[in-house]
Each structure stands twice: as structure tokens, then as C-alpha cells.
């Protein structure tokens, strides 16, 4: 007797198997819809909670009082170990979130509840996958207006509020420079910009060194050195592990009417043999090299990772800025050359001239601005150097030396130049 089924039985098994496969596929597909990561980034400016999932999340958000809470109901989701760990992510020093809890509200809805320390203005939105990050549901908690103390010389919160309302993109003329000669009649105002932050880690080395952490350390060291100078004062676009949109970084420098803007990064490339320090300035006419174009594209992606639309540019689209912008770029190139020559004394130079490309963070029309790639974090040896206090301090001293040389030349002492 044959072990094979009859033709009729084979047809029945094939049909039944197809139905079974279809039902299993549907169940399997639903089972794979889950949260794969939760991140909370607290800062003095705002706190961000991110749920990352392999499929888009549908949600409803509302507020409850006594105590103050923000509630988010997420449809077609079930609790898992990642969601259950949200309470452990809340830090005691978070100025906005007191605690977090999560529960299965009904059969297909997960409810996330954030108990608050103060009144907040929540902003919730979803983000598509980008740069290896899956679908995200993002909840930003900003202090309710007038409820959070801010240093009088730090306009970041107001600028973020303007940005969220769409007011930051309104046409503005170049800011009038501070009165007096920088370094002579008044302190030189320098804005330091540690790249990336918060949701955007920047590049990561083979040994898990994160660009956002290293450049923040270098910027802090540089600020200490600058503030020791009797004729200089430094500010920072961020002094915490927080995401700040590129346009807000530029706007903060213009709000404080900075004389210089220095963005600090740690380069990365697919080839780990790439090494060396670099300095970049803005170009409005295309990149001066393929490498500069590639780097500008990767750095400009920071806004996409952080959840910001890459909309039009209110600076470079206006011909009234053309003359000011050209003079500023020329000054940026000269300033960058001073910094680059000093970096060459503490590290190999990737390129011996200042390169140019369309970096969004360098687009202040009236502030000489450079982007310093301190070293390649993707290079094993330079990753090791970047982690050392010695090299971080050497980079900070090199940049300070470039600042001093630039102003000592007298080229930047005249307001409005």
C-alpha cells in the first residue's frame, strides 16, 4: 500500500494548509507589533519620552488633574517586558516627570501614564524610520509658560517655544551686533555647539563611544578655558544630553548676538582607516569636496533623527543676506584656518585646508561659523584618543588658540564686519 495520499486527499490537504497558513500569518503579524525600546531624555529645558516600535503606533493623548498627569492610550498593542520597564527609566532629577506607569487598559489598548512634577505643555507626534531607528511615538514635555526658572542669559526655552509654534521661521533681518569692539570694549561672545544630543547620538565608535557624549565634554572644557579669559565669554547651545533642532542652535547664537559660532563633532566614515581632524565652513554654492558633501548630509540628518522637518531656509533664500553672508563665509574661512593650523599640532589633519559644504548649523548670515571635526570616532586609535582627558583638553586648547589668533589679527574687532 502506498503511503502517499490520494489525489482528492492531496487537494483537501493543500486547501486546508493554505487556510491554516493564512490564519497563522495573521496571528504572527499581530504578535510582531510591539514596542522594542523606550527612552527618556530629561533636561532642564524639556523632557522627551520615545517609544520605538516595528510598526506605526496609533494613540490618543489627554490630561488628568489632581495629581497632574499626561495619559497616552496606544491602540493595538500589548504589554511586554520593554513597556513594563518604563518606571525604571524615570530619573529622580527629571524636572517634569515624577513617575511613569503602564497597564493593559483593555484587550487591545496599552495606557501609559506620566505623573508630573509641574504643569507642562505636551507635544506628541510620530516619526518614520530613519538611520536605523524604527517607527517612533515621541512625547515632549515643555514647562507651561512662566512655570520654569530659566537663567536670564539663556533664551533656549523661549526659542524652542517659538520653534514649536512656527514663529522661529518668520523672516528676520540680521541681528545688530553688540555695541563696542569685541575683545576691546566688551567681551567676545562665543557660542559653542556640541553636536547631536538626546535622541540623536551622532556617530558611534566600535567600542560604543558616542559622539554626543565626547563633544559635550570637549565643549565644556573649552567653555572653562574661554571663561578664564578676561575678554571672552562662552555660551553653549546645549549643556545636557538633550536634542536641540539645528535652527534653534543657530537662533540662540543670533539671540545672544555671538561674535563666533563653533560646532564641535567627531567624524565617522565607513572605512575605519580614515583619520584626522578637519574644519569646515559654510558653502552656498555646493560642497568643495565629495567628503564635505557626505559629511554635511549626515550632520543635517540630525533634525530628521530628532523629529524635525527639513523645511526651507529663511536665511539663504533671501538675496538681502547675500552680501552679509559672503563676508561672513570669508571670515569663517580665515577663522577656520587659524583653528585648523593649531589642531594640526595635536592630531593628524584629514585635510590641510578648510573644507566647505551646506551645513545647516553654520547658516547664521552674520556670525562667522565653523564646524570642527575633532577626530574620526570610527577609527579605533582616534576613538581611544577621543575618550582621554588629555586629547579632549588639547582639542579645546587648539580651538581657543585659533580664537585668540583670529581676534589678535584685528580682522574681527569691528562691529558688523
Spell out the SS3 assignment of 95-163.
Answer: CCEEEEEEEEEECCEEEEEEEECCCEEEEEEEECCECCECEEEEEEEEECCCCCCCCCCCCHHHHHHHH
What count of Cα atoms within 13 Å lies in the side-chain half-sphere of residue 305? 22
Is the separation of the CB atoms in 237 and 393 below 8 Å? no
CA-closest candidate to residue 47, choices 132, 116, 131, 106: 116
Cα distance between residue 263 and residue 253, in whole Å: 11
142 grid coordinates: 515643555
Average pLDDT over all residues of the chain = 86
Consecutive H or E run containing 375: strand 369-376
Kindly report the pTM of this predicted structure. 0.85
Instruction: pLDDT tens for the chain, 417 residues: list them.
Output: 344 445 454 444 444 444 333 334 344 444 446 899 999 999 999 999 999 999 999 999 999 999 999 999 999 999 999 999 999 999 999 999 999 999 999 999 999 999 999 999 999 999 999 888 999 999 999 998 755 444 444 678 888 888 888 787 665 555 667 888 887 889 999 999 999 999 999 999 999 999 999 999 999 999 999 999 999 999 999 999 999 999 999 999 999 999 999 999 998 888 899 999 999 999 988 888 888 888 888 888 888 888 775 555 554 444 445 666 888 999 999 999 999 999 999 999 999 999 999 999 999 988 999 999 999 999 999 999 999 999 999 999 999 999 999 999 876 544 444
b/e map of 15-54 (b: 16 or more CB within 10 Å)? eeeeeeeeeeeeeeeeeeebbeebebbbbbbbbbbbbbbe
Q: Is the dihedral of CA 91, 95, 99, 100 positive or negative?
A: negative
- Provide φ and ψ at 274, rounded to 5°: -60, 135
3-class secondary structure, 35 = strand
* pLDDT for residue 412: 56
Residue 29 is predicted with a pLDDT of 43
User: Rounded to 5 degrees, what angle do the CA atoms 397, 399, 400 make?
Assistant: 60
* Angstrom distance (rounded) from CA 362 to CA 364: 6
> Residue 55 contacts by C-beta under 8 Å, 6 or more apart in sequence?
32, 33, 135
> How far lies 275's CA from each of 160, 291, 296, 353, 373, in Å?
36, 13, 17, 15, 10
| Class of residue 417 by CB neighbours under 10 A (exposed 0-12, middle 13-18, buried 19+) | middle
CA 333, CA 335: separation in Å to the nearest integer? 5
Is the bond into 67 cis (omega within 30 degrees of 0)? yes
Q: What is the DSSP letter of 213?
A: H
| CA dihedral sign of residues 223, 174, 300, 144 | positive
Question: Residue 193 pairs with which residues in a beta bridge?
Answer: 263
Amino acid at each position: 500500500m502506498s503511503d502517499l495520499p490520494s489525489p482528492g486527499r492531496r487537494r483537501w490537504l493543500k486547501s486546508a494548509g493554505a487556510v491554516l497558513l493564512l490564519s497563522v500569518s495573521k496571528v504572527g503579524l499581530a504578535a510582531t507589533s510591539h514596542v522594542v525600546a523606550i527612552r527618556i531624555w530629561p533636561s532642564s529645558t524639556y523632557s522627551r519620552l520615545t517609544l520605538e516600535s516595528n510598526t506605526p503606533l496609533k494613540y490618543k493623548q489627554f490630561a488628568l488633574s489632581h495629581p497632574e498627569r499626561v495619559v497616552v492610550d496606544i491602540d493595538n498593542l500589548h504589554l511586554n517586558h520593554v513597556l513594563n520597564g518604563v518606571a525604571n527609566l524615570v530619573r529622580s532629577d527629571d524636572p517634569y516627570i515624577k513617575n511613569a506607569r503602564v497597564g493593559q487598559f483593555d484587550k487591545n489598548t496599552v495606557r501609559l501614564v506620566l505623573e508630573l512634577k509641574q504643569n507642562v505643555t505636551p507635544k506628541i507626534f510620530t516619526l518614520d524610520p530613519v538611520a536605523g531607528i524604527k517607527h517612533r511615538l515621541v512625547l515632549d514635555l515643555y514647562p507651561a509658560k512662566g512655570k520654569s526658572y530659566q537663567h536670564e542669559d539663556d533664551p533656549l526655552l523661549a526659542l524652542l517655544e517659538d520653534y514649536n509654534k512656527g514663529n522661529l521661521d518668520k523672516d528676520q533681518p540680521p541681528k545688530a551686533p553688540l555695541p563696542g569692539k569685541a575683545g576691546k570694549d566688551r567681551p567676545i561672545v562665543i557660542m559653542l555647539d556640541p553636536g547631536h544630543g538626546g535622541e540623536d547620538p551622532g556617530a558611534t565608535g566600535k567600542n560604543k563611544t558616542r559622539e554626543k557624549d565626547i563633544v559635550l565634554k570637549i565643549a565644556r572644557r573649552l567653555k572653562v578655558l574661554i571663561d578664564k579669559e578676561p575678554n571672552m565669554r562662552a555660551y553653549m547651545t546645549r549643556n545636557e544630553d538633550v536634542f536641540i533642532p539645528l535652527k534653534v542652535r543657530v537662533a540662540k547664537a543670533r539671540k545672544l548676538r555671538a561674535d563666533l559660532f563653533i560646532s564641535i563633532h567627531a567624524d565617522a566614515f565607513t572605512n575605519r582607516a580614515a583619520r584626522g581632524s578637519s574644519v569646515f565652513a559654510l558653502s552656498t554654492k555646493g560642497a568643495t569636496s565629495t567628503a564635505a558633501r557626505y559629511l554635511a548630509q549626515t550632520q543635517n540628518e540630525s533634525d530628521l533623527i530628532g523629529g524635525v522637518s527639513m523645511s526651507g531656509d529663511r536665511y539663504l533664500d533671501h538675496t538681502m543676506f547675500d552680501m552679509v553672508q559672503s563676508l561672513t563665509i570669508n571670515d569663517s574661512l580665515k577663522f577656520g584656518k587659524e583653528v585648523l593650523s593649531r589642531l594640526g599640532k595635536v592630531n593628524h589633519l584629514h585635510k590641510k585646508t578648510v573644507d566647505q559644504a551646506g551645513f545647516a548649523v553654520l547658516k547664521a548670515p552674520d556670525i562667522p561659523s565653523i564646524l570642527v571635526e575633532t577626530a574620526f570616532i570610527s577609527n579605533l586609535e582616534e576613538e581611544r584618543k577621543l575618550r582621554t582627558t588629555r586629547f579632549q583638553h588639547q582639542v579645546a586648547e587648539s580651538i581657543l588658540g585659533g580664537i585668540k589668533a583670529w581676534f589678535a589679527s584685528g580682522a574681527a574687532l569691528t562691529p558688523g564686519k
